[in-house]
Structure 1
Amino acid sequence: MALTARGARLTRQHRQEQLSIRARFLQELLRLFGLLDPARLDATTEPWLTAMVPLLRQHWQRSAAASAAYLALFLEAETGRPAPEPRLPRFTPERARAAQTSLLVTGPVKIRNLTQAGQPLASAVRVAQSTVAGAAGRHVLDGGRAVLLDPEPLDRSGVRYARVTDPDPCWFCAMMASRGYVYLSEESGGREASDRFAGPGMFKFHDYCGCTLEPTLDPDAPLPEDNARFADLWVTATRGLHTDAARRAFRRALEGRPLPGDPILAAA
């Protein structure tokens, strides 16, 4: 965990604030989903996207601002010195296009594919509401993640990160969190293991993912409480096992049973 009690408290508050930002966004998303008429997809997709992308951008910026405030306060608490104000990233045209593509694929395209496969229209719409929420929520939280991983405003020499999960992470995110403060490069971040997840860099965040990050200047700092619990579970569940067998054993121990919708399978 953080070296100071204040730093640990700030990380908890930051995680909760990010999830609150996503929750407020999802409320607005569900309200605007009605603009997409499943019986008139060709006519209503463009107006729906026109309304959705600015809404996503607004909450992406809120996520980024919240992470910038957190990072400055966290580094000040951990070092005892005022920290440079983190740079707020821009919601670039490239980000807007990526968000629009996700919305299109998980919404109108999903409805069309499901109905063409014989699924009832009402059922297809419910599935699409869920997949749109999962993908769009990831894009919103990427605003805050972009701040935490931006190398420009601070000298990141020696700074490492731990993955901080939401209260109910998937087994893969829990496994990555169990590794603690090891994320310094793409290699140490598990590039080969996580290349099925969306996003560049050393961290991958899948649809529905609520994870964030905690930096540290001391890689030997105690782990956050949940990370320590996952680390203990990894040790006990995977003793004598390696690679895929170890991952399967960890998942069984965490979940108690295999579950559908595993993000690795879904993103493969």
Structure 2
Amino acid sequence: MNPLSLAESGSAWLAYMLALIRGERRRSRDQAAAFLRLYRAMETGYTLPPLQDGPVAEATTLGALREDWARVTETIRTPEPDDADPVRIDGDFDWLEEPVEAFDRAAVASLVSQGPAKVRERVAQAAEEQTRGRLDDAGFLQELEDLHTSTGTTAANAADREAIRAGRDLINRASQEDRRAVGWARVTDGNPCAFCAMLVSRGAIYKSRATAAGGGRRKPKGSADGRNRDSRRPPVTLQDLTRYHYGCHCQTVPIYSRTDFWTPDAHGYADQWERVITNNGLSGAEARAAWRRHIESNRS
């Protein structure tokens, strides 16, 4: 973007970015559907119909689902011993349409706020400073270069979130309609912030109290009765689980078991929460601050 013609250059940049994001949203949606079909098959022995319209077969195989995942992710897969295992297709399931217009509006709002608006605000601020000399001096030009670099980073993070919005939305809405899904859990991207790490540490939330009660609560590793780790943690809802900040690549996935969903990461962060927060009797703002310091000190 040219800071001397933000309206014109910003509009051209926004049109280009929106077209790019639309294409990536389609790819994200295809990958999410392939993931969910394979993941559900491995968890339950049943899968969902293909995302594309057309006749629906009664069954497929794990190998075919793996091939579909490899195709949409452009990865090479190696044969697995259970590739030939049959998987029934729940033909009564209908994928919901992507809300394209709503996603476009969200993308435009994110891109403008993190791109042109930031540049416009900083340039206006610089021009109003009474102590500054000419706006073409070396110091100001360096500020403009730094501004473009930092704004490019924030705008890229905004574009990244908007590109994968479609896949996240597909999994979220499909799992809410899925009669076999009993709840959800957050999966880390490998380097989560404090908020995301807390969500991962919570294990699973359920669609209903009856579901949670009916399956019982599996005792987390290191917990005497399976309840201690929940006593001082902030409450978590599906709305919390499906909140994603700029630069976040965590994912909320459906769960199909009537026992808690405890991945190795969930165990690890639950252990850390107990050691840093619960064992020190912290709660509220004090607990959040201590947790943030702990996670940030260990992030790569």
Name the counterpart of 1:79: 44
Q: Please tell me the root mean square deviation across aligned C-alpha atoms, in Å.
A: 2.5
Amino acid of the residue matched to residue 129 of structure 1?
A: G
In structure 2, the partner of 1:10 is: none
CA distance in 1, matches of 2:204, 2:236: 10
Counterpart position of 2:227: none
Q: Is 2:161 aligned against 1:138?
A: yes
Question: In structure 2, what is the equivalent of residue 27 of structure 1?
Answer: none
Structure 2 match to 1:265: none
Cα distance in structure 1, aligned partners of 2:291 and 2:284: 11
For the 8 Å contact 2:185–2:261, the answer to whether it is kept is no
CA contact (8 A) 2:186 2:252 kept: yes
Q: Tell whether 2:20 aligns with 1:55.
A: yes
Map of 2:283 onto structure 1: 242
Q: Classify 1:94/1:83 alpha carbon distance in 2 versus 1 (closer, same or farther; 3 Å).
A: closer
Q: Deviations along 1:39-77, whole A, 9 cap, x unmatched?
A: 321221111111111110110111111010110111111
Whole-angstrom distance in 2 between the partners of 1:132 and 1:60? 17
Within 2, Cα distance between the matches of 1:66 and 1:254? 30
Per-residue CA distance 1:183-204 (angstroms, 9 max, x = gap): 648x74175xx5xxxxxxx521
Structure 1 counterpart of 2:133: none
Q: Is the 8 A contact 1:72 1:83 kept in 2?
A: yes
Matched position secondary structure for 1:182? strand
Structure 2 counterpart of 1:217, from 235, 242, 256: 256
Match of 1:98 in 2: 106
* CA deviation string 1:3-38 (max 9, x = no partner): xxxxxxxxxxxxxxxxxxxxxxxxxxxxxxxxx223
5 Å-filtered alignment, 1:140-155, equals 140-151=163-174, 154-155=177-178
Whole-Å separation in 2 of the counterparts to 1:228 and 1:156: 27
Counterpart position of 1:13: none
Of 265, 270, 276, which aligns to 1:226? 265
The percentage of aligned residue pairs carrying the same residue is: 33
2:296 equivalent among 240, 255, 258: 255
Distance 1:90 1:129, change over 3 A: same
CA deviations over 1:154-196 (Å, ceiling 9, x no partner)? 43465211111212111111111111111648x74175xx5xx
Partner of 2:10: 45
Distance 1:190 1:93, change over 3 A: closer
What secondary structure is seen at the aligned counterpart in 2 of 1:209? coil
1:184-203 → structure 2 map (5 Å cutoff): 184=207, 188-189=236-237, 194=240, 203=242
Corresponding residue for residue 114 of structure 1: 122
User: Does the C-alpha gap of structure 1 residues 114 and 47 become closer, same or farther in structure 2, counting only changes over 3 Å?
Assistant: same
- For structure 2, the 5+ residue unaligned runs are 52-94, 127-139, 209-234
After superposition, give the CA deviation of every residue in 1:81-134 in whole Å (9 maximum; x if it has no partner).
233445264251121122112111111111111223337211111111011011
Larger helix proportion, structure 1 or 2? 1
Give the partner amino acid of 2:256. L
Amino acid at match of 1:204: R
> Is the counterpart of residue 70 in structure 1 residue 40 in structure 2?
no
Query: Which deviates the most, 101-110 or 222-231?
Result: 222-231
Sort the Cα spacing of 1:94 and 1:67 in 2 relative to 1 into closer, same or farther, 3 A: same
Change in Cα spacing, 1:62 to 1:89, as seen in structure 2 (3 Å) is farther
Q: Which has the larger radius of gyration?
A: 2
Q: 1:88 to 1:70 in 2, by over 3 A?
A: farther
- What amino acid maps onto 1:250 in structure 2? W
Report the CA distance between 1:148 and its aligned residue: 0.8
Structure 1 distance, partners of 2:176, 2:195, is: 30
CA distance in 2, matches of 1:81, 1:247: 40
One-letter amino acid of the structure 1 residue matched with residue 100 of structure 2: T
